[in-house]
Amino acid sequence: MVSYKYLQYDVTDGYAEIVMDRPDILNAFHDEMIQELIHALTDAQSNDSVYAIVLTGAGRAFCSGADVSNMGEGDRGQLEAAEHLWRVQNVVRALYHGDKPTVAAVNGPAIGAGCDFALACDLRVIEEDAFMREQFVNIGLVPGDGGGWLLPRLVGEAKAKEYILTGRDITPTDAEDMGLVVDIVDSGGSLEAARELATELRDKPAPAMQHCKDLLDVTQSYEEYAQRAIEAQWEVTNHPEHVEAVNALQESREPDFDREY
């Protein structure tokens, strides 16, 4: 059992909950926290009792990005700097490309890479006094961990350029108008809302959920999608959870997938 110093990590009721836990500095990350995030996400993705993942921050922030006291890339050689950025990118990879659906509970500022961690999740809820910000240009950096790839896919090229090139805040209202969040919730309510979403996702047939996430790839052609969908449909059609879901529908009851949480 791994002991986490900079995260809270818990698996309960069929989903994993990861809380970035450096509240005194708005959950800004350093190398050790990134390594813990990657380990927790890897564990959650490989754990057979996990069907969804919730990510949030402790205290009054989601994540304010990199710890500024640890930011000076000039102190790193080029190879070391590239390796560090690769590790941060791996958090985005695990959230975006992992088999299991991910939900961000944006409970406060989500800035820089913290914004991108939220964007990499499949679904987001945001509190009324929170915001997201692609901070990079404001401090002479680029969104190297994923924002310049994620945001155009989520909100379109024009709006992505607006927020990335100006470094302006994405307010809760902006995010809702663009379809970037599922809901705006009261202050202090994002984690409970995210848990409800995770529970909803948990209770869907898991193989279909994973294939649905995998098929949502905006870079593929329709013919590529069609072929992958044929293969996925055959696999899920022959899975016991599909059979149980159909039987439950026909019998007007809730499905029982015989899982142990």
- Is the pLDDT at 73 greater than 60? The verdict is no
Give the pLDDT confidence of 117-169 residue by residue, as tens digits: 999 999 999 999 999 999 999 999 999 999 999 999 999 999 999 999 999 99
* CB 28, CB 88: distance < 8 Å: no
What's the whole-model pTM score?
0.93
Q: In the CATH scheme, what is the homologous superfamily, with its name and number, of domain 7-202?
A: 2-enoyl-CoA Hydratase; Chain A, domain 1 (3.90.226.10)
Sequential DSSP letters for 123-160: EEEEETT--EE--GGGGT---TTTHHHHHHHHH-HHHH
What percent of the chain is modeled with pLDDT above 90?
Answer: 89
* CB 26, CB 64: distance < 8 Å: yes
Mean pLDDT confidence for 50-54: 98
Mean pLDDT confidence for 76-92: 90
Give the pLDDT confidence of 225-258 residue by residue, as tens digits: 999 999 999 999 999 999 999 999 999 999 999 8
Residue with more model confidence, 78 or 127: 127
38: CB partners within 8 A, 6+ apart: 87, 90, 91, 94
* Residue with token string 């700097």: 81
* CB 160, CB 151: distance < 8 Å: yes
pLDDT at 20: 98
* CB 207, CB 239: distance < 8 Å: yes
Mean pLDDT confidence for 30-47: 97
Give the Cβ contact number of residue 51 at 10 Å.
25
